Chains A and B, each alone.
Chain A
Amino acid sequence: EVQLVQSGAEVKKPGESLRISCKGSGYTFTNNWIAWVRQMPGKGLEWMGIVYPGDSDTRYSPSFQGQVTMSADKSINTAYLHWSSLKASDTAMYYCARGGNGYNTYYYFDLWGRGTLVTVSS
């Protein structure tokens, strides 16, 4: 089955670090970009950035540049989203989604993970 499986919910304190994951299966993971999308409670979808597992090329939305780090480990078909110092405002659901094949400029998100809920509270 083609799927993206995300890591479980996290509860953290402000200032702590965190890495969440997204594991792909059922397709050639290194061939497609993986995007991260934030959804704050009761709000809409925000594109954060995208990483290409084949060569770890990464593009960030200007709104999230410097706030998070995206990476991928192609040996275990897994993409990551990392925070070095969490804030309460990072509380949200985070989705990973599959993007285009290779350097196909125009491609949508055709496969989504179920999301990882991150709660940051003192």
Chain B
Amino acid sequence: DIQMTQSPSTLSASVGDRVTITCRASQNINNWLAWYQQKPGKAPNLLIYKASSLQSGVPSRFSGSGFGTEFTLTISSLQPDDFATYYCQQYNLYSGYAFGQGTNLEIK
């Protein structure tokens, strides 16, 4: 099975900060990686797919990069609405859809 590992588990930041979350895959997944945002009591929401493609309607302050086994999600200037938990996910119909353990982005 492919394992996904995110870091950090918790990130404290302030409005206006630039933040980066890292996701590592246990084997090469090319660019078949998505990022989701989840707020308390809500379903996850797709932000990024194919490592760097922005889902329609998602603000441009979100960006993704990476290929192979190492990926990043960057928020260029944190807004109050961005404090949430973020998950990476590798997706492949034949090897599965494993999620990272999540990164809780909290207000400093």
Contact = CB atoms under 8 A, between A and B. Distances in A.
Contacts of B43: 95, 112-115
A106 B95 CA distance: 10
A121 B79 CA distance: 40
> Interface of chain B, helix or strand or loop or mixed?
loop
A73 interface: no
A100 to B, nearest CB: 7
Nearest to B87: A45
B99 A106 contact: no
A108 B99 contact: no
Q: How big is chain B's contact interface, by range? A: 20 to 34
A47 B45 contact: no
Given A95-B43, A108-B91, A112-B45, A61 B102 contact: no
Interface in A4-24: none
A35 interface: yes
A44 B49 contact: no
Interface residues of A, number: 27
A46 interface: yes
Given A62-B1, A112-B45, A114-B43, A45 B102 contact: yes
Contacts, number: 70
B72 to A, nearest CB: 17
Contact of B99 (A45, A107, A110, A113): A45
A63 B99 CA distance: 13
Contacts of B1: 62
B92 A106 contact: yes
A108 B44 contact: no
A108 B46 contact: yes
A109 B34 contact: yes
Return the 6 tightest CB-CB contacts between A and B, nearest first: A108-B34, A112-B43, A47-B97, A44-B102, A45-B99, A108-B49
Interface of B: 1, 32, 34, 36, 38, 42-46, 49-50, 55, 87, 89, 91-94, 96-102
Interface of A: 33, 35, 37, 44-47, 50, 59, 61-62, 95, 97, 99-100, 103-110, 112-115
